[in-house]
Amino acid sequence: MKRKVTRRHRARNDNDLLPLFAWADAFRQRPWARSLAAREIQRRGAYPPSTATLYARLAGLHVEED
């Protein structure tokens, strides 16, 4: 039995809508605001980022300046 198959809609993966690397520019990239030491203190103690950074500075650990 032969079936008639037609395409009524355009393909979803249309290359005209989104160029190859244009989507990457749409995302906002920003560097880490805290140092690794502050992130670890925040993870272990569930502190806010500002408190974790302060504790890292008071402990004498390396903290990048903003």
Domain ranges across the chain: 32-60
C-alpha distances (whole Å) from 63 to each of 39, 45, 49 are 10, 17, 12
For residue 2, pLDDT over 70 is answered with yes
**41-53 burial, b for 16+ CB within 10 Å, e for fewer?**
bbeeeeeeeeebb
User: pLDDT per residue over 10-63, tens digit each?
Assistant: 666 555 566 667 767 666 665 555 788 999 999 999 999 889 999 999 999 988
Q: Which residue has the tokens 């190859």?
A: 20
Taking the alpha carbons at both ends of the chain, their separation in whole angstroms is 71
Nearest to 33 by CA among 21, 49, 10: 49
pTM of the model: 0.49
